[in-house]
Structure 1
């Protein structure tokens, strides 16, 4: 799977607002080159919620060491929810080890695992179907939150 494949899939789900920070924009420099996906059918970046999925191409300062600094590496992060997180890690959020995992392996996000986020570095054949399902479920959950919001 490529970043373009994942982006295309996410956009096909409907109501998705992608944010692609780049130089000269309002987003901080550390985010340039990464991708953030919000459920926002109104086209407005929500100020009270996080994206339901992200694609990052570099290690962020608050993360433990990982191998995102190698050429072409990227990680897909998904707000999976408690049930999916437990199903994939065998641990409740906050209890799963935040250790680097091999490419094409679903694992706890190294920083946001405590919030039930899962991650896959360089997804490929082994995780493609499962990752699509996790992304679809995260989209459905984000849509339900959007519909419940006041106003």
Structure 2
């Protein structure tokens, strides 16, 4: 991220919202989202807003996704839809091979990309507390979403 903000989640959201035609949904009261996801952010391209290209998760979801240790102060995780090819380029194996690699992945390591703890098999990647290294993959996920929405 290019600017310094008091809240790194806000700074990341601002970066994503600078991309063309991006809509952000922040889960909370009145959105229909479960309370466990309140504060999470979902980024969409297009009017259907059914399939995000990126999400920002701010806490663990007990029994579903606790591997990134997001309940510690100051931790959050960016998730982006990479697609099969970029996933393979980044991790050295395809999304379909994720289950065989899961045990060797540190999902709590900050500042480095890893397959999404739950949605890797759909071609998603994640990074805890991202920095500027996230920008190219955010742009990639956005471009995929723009292409899909046309």
TM-score, reference length from structure 1: 0.83
What corresponds to 1:118 in structure 2? 125
Task: Give runs of aligned pairs for residues 1-151 of structure 1, distance below 5 A.
Answer: 2-40=8-46, 44-47=47-50, 50-60=51-61, 61-63=63-65, 65-96=67-98, 97-98=101-102, 99-101=105-107, 102-124=109-131, 128-129=132-133, 131-147=134-150
Moved more, 14-23 or 62-71: 62-71
CA distance in 1, matches of 2:122, 2:31: 28
Post-superposition offset of 1:133: 0.7
Structure 1: which 5+ residue stretches go unaligned? none
More helix by proportion, 1 or 2?
2
Structure 2: which 5+ residue stretches go unaligned? 2-7
Give SS of 1:5's match. helix
Q: What count of residue pairs does the alignment treat as equivalent? A: 138
Please provide the CA RMSD for this pair: 1.6
Q: Deviations over 1:118-143 (max 9, x none)?
A: 0000113xxx23x1111111111101
Give SS of 1:94's match. helix
Aligned 8 A contact 2:67 2:117 in 1: no
